[in-house]
Structure 1
Amino acid sequence: MNLVLIKVSSFLSIIIAGMLAGRTGKLGRRTGEAISKIVFNFTLPAAIVHAFGSANFTPDMLLLVPLGLICALCPYLITYVVTRHSSHDDRILYLMNISGFNIGSFGLPFVQAFFPASTVVAACMFDAGNALMMTGGTYAVTRVLTSGNHINHPIQTIIRRLLSSIPFDSYLVLISMAIVGLRVPQAIVAFTEPMANANGFLSMFMLGLMVSFSINEDRLHKLINLMSGRIVFSLVMSVAAFKLLPFSSGIRYIIAVLLWAPMGSMGPVFTLWEHSDHGLAGLANTISIFFSIIAMTAITVAYGTIS
């Protein structure tokens, strides 16, 4: 537990450092946008390749890939229906941030600290499906769905935007390799390690740069809607996963933990790129970390009492 709390505290301190750097203005006005492009195009793809190359998995674990996708997609689709009467900017805010999970930086440390090493790969497989939305799917689909009738070929547009996402392409290639039984060469794993190690720091620092504490009644209402939606979805899906999944209790506990992971770090970035309230998205992302620590710790303690 101490190791997990130290790691989470480290990430929180990086977020705070980013917040302080953003307020002083010493890094310039567009630093957050520049770092987001570095993360999206370099460190995040490297982290994906490195994680996949370091994992050992069995064929039945591949079932967790579509499960991860479903758990990221269902809240998104429900939110799309619920917000159909909201303004364009509000829909962008909700759709970009309501679904998906930050598993690499937060979920995985909990799993590694408390669960058998043989089952940790379940987190990687689940994250592969989740990341299909988090690394480009959410952005591509939202741009099409919120554009009205301005796009003539929406399916082609979504596919084109997805394929232009380097992290998304990385997952497609790696999942395809896993299906046919191919492994990432260890030379590539070693080559990507320096960039992969930088991903956690840059992602959290970028998040800190985007946080805005300027809250009025309207923004507070949006924040409450976003956070309450996340909590309800996580609660329902984690209970369903634990009750219904045809896996061992250890893996079911792992999935339950991951379903309480914080908002994906790319949500505020996508919100920024669409010129919506990325400051509020960054604040919601930071707040979600505190909720996640409580829920994920409770689940891992419950697992410890039966194992």
Structure 2
Amino acid sequence: MSQIVILQKVAISIIIIFFGYAVKKMKFLPAETGKVLNSFIIYITLPASIAKVFLTTKVNTNLFVLTLSGFAFGFITFIIGFLAFRNANLKRETKGTLIISLCGYNIGLFAFPFVQQIYGNNGLLHIAMFDMGNSFNVFGVAYIAAYAFSQSDKLDLKKVFKKILCFVPFDTYIIAFILNVIGIKFPSLIVNLAEQISMPNTTLALFVIGYFLDFNLEKDEILSLLKGLAIKYTPGIALFFVLPLFFNTASMTIKAIMLGTIMPTALVAVIYSNEKDLNTKLASIFITATTIVAIVFMSLIMIKWH
């Protein structure tokens, strides 16, 4: 794919994001629109997109390296953040939110639309395998961290595991992957249905990302935000320079690892922060900042490694 085509597709995606932001600012839609659309994506169009990928593309067992990478890089970043902030002179709620925000990536709502635009179903399969490992961090490790920094709750492992096992996109990953590996063929009606339901996912996900953008910063949060951003993107920046020395960057596997590690903070950072009385506003700001940084890095990677 030529650089001009890639730039056009990235530009269209960015325009949709800022269209979502503009719609929120102009207050055309009800206040709860962002939450409603987010739930619709998570429980309807995102699972359909995942199902479509695994129903139409055969999984190669070599792609398990992506699942391992998705978990490993997110967990390593979480550990670095935990060590960096655990003794920092910060409020409990700020410290907790920063550590949660460093655990895992927003793959389903952010990476899926861009990757589908540029690399098609094969790219989606690769980034979905990365996200399968990432899901353990986002819905497991991050939730445990939220408990750890909560003043009111004691850690309930049963509740944590229930949250992971009852999360629809994660369940879809596991079920669709197993069915793919054992070679079960579905009738075209089922495949076409999944494809039809998944069609709005790209546009809706980009729109919702824009809808959640927040540019309001307070001075006392800026330093913590910058330190958190440095920790979050150090592995991705290191990979950008190291991977081409040892691997062919034309490989979709290498592209998926690179793209996965520069994705924004998962939206659950806001959900967990709100649920456990942490710094919800900082979570929103962190997501906004990482979304902007990810757009820049991702555009650079897609153009340079086309």
Question: In which range does the TM-score fall when normalised by the shorter chain?
Answer: 0.7 to 0.9
Q: What is the SS of the residue equivalent to 1:260?
A: coil
Matched, 1:218 2:229: no
Residue in 2 that maps onto 1:167: 169
Cα 1:186–1:80, aligned 2, differ >3 Å: closer, same or farther?
A: farther
CA distance in 1, matches of 2:113, 2:168: 25
Is 2:149 the partner of 1:146?
Answer: yes
For this pair of structures, how many residues does the alignment match? 301
Alignment match, 1:126 = 130
Of the candidates 227, 230, 237, which is equivalent to residue 229 of structure 2?
Answer: 227
TM value normalised by structure 1: 0.78
Residue 177 (structure 1) aligned to one of 161, 176, 179 = 179
1:149-192 CA-partner distances (Å, limit 9, x unpaired): 8336x322211111221112112223333444446654333212
C-alpha separation between the residues in 2 aligned to 1:211 and 1:91?
A: 22
Structure 1 gaps, min length 5? none
Tell whether the 8 Å contact from 1:212 to 1:283 is kept in structure 2 after alignment.
yes
82-91 or 209-218: bigger deviation:
82-91
Q: Letter of the 2:44 partner, please give it.
A: F
Map residues 251-290 of structure 1 onto 2, 5 A cutoff: 251-274=253-276, 276-290=278-292
Counterpart Cα distance in 1 of 2:74 and 2:42 = 19
Distance 2:26 2:118 in 1: 39
Quick one: distance in 2 between partners of 1:121 and 1:207?
22
Change (3 A) 1:49 1:87: farther
- Aligned mate of 2:294, from 270, 274, 292: 292
Task: Name the aligned partner's letter for residue 10 of structure 1.
Answer: I
* 1:217 Cα deviation after fit: 0.7
Out of 188, 191, 202, the residue aligned to residue 190 of structure 2 is 188
1:14-43 C-alpha deviation (Å, 9 max, x unpaired): 322222232333423333222222222222
Q: Where does residue 101 of structure 1 map in the other structure?
A: 105
Question: How far did 1:274 drift?
Answer: 4.8
CA distance in 2, matches of 1:113, 1:19: 21
The one-letter amino acid paired with 1:143 is A
CA pair 104-185 structure 1, distance change in 2 beyond 3 A? farther
Instruction: State the partner residue of 2:74.
Output: 72
1:248 to partner: Cα distance: 8.8
Pairwise CA distance, 1:202: 2.7
Residue type of the partner of 2:129? M
Give the drift of 1:63.
3.0
User: Do 1:36 and 1:269's aligned partners in 2 also have CA atoms closer than 8 Å?
Assistant: no
Q: TM-score, normalised by structure 2?
A: 0.78
> Residue 300 of structure 1: CA displacement?
4.7
Bigger shift: 200-209 or 265-274?
Answer: 265-274
Residues 40 and 219 (structure 1), Cα distance of their counterparts in 2 relative to 1, 3 Å cut: same
Which one of 56, 59, 63 corresponds to residue 57 of structure 1?
A: 59
Which whole-Å CA distance do the structure 1 matches of 2:196 and 2:74 have between them? 29
One-letter identity of the residue aligned with 2:13: F
Distance 1:103 1:33, change over 3 A: closer
The CA distance in 1 between the partners of 2:185 and 2:121, in whole Å, is 19
Does the 8 Å contact 1:88/1:146 carry over to 2?
Answer: yes
- 2:199 is paired with a residue of what secondary structure? helix
Question: 1:193: how far off?
Answer: 2.3
Give the letter for the 2:140 counterpart: G
Query: C-alpha root-mean-square deviation of aligned residues, in Å?
Result: 3.5
Kept after mapping to 2: 8 A contact 1:210/1:279: no
What is the CA distance between 1:58 and its match in structure 2?
A: 1.7
| Distance 1:289-1:218 versus aligned 2 partners, 3 A rule | same
**Percent sequence identity over matched residues?**
20
Q: Is there any run of 5+ residues in structure 2 with no aligned partner, and where?
A: none
Judge conservation of contact 2:97–2:283 (CA < 8 Å) in 1. yes
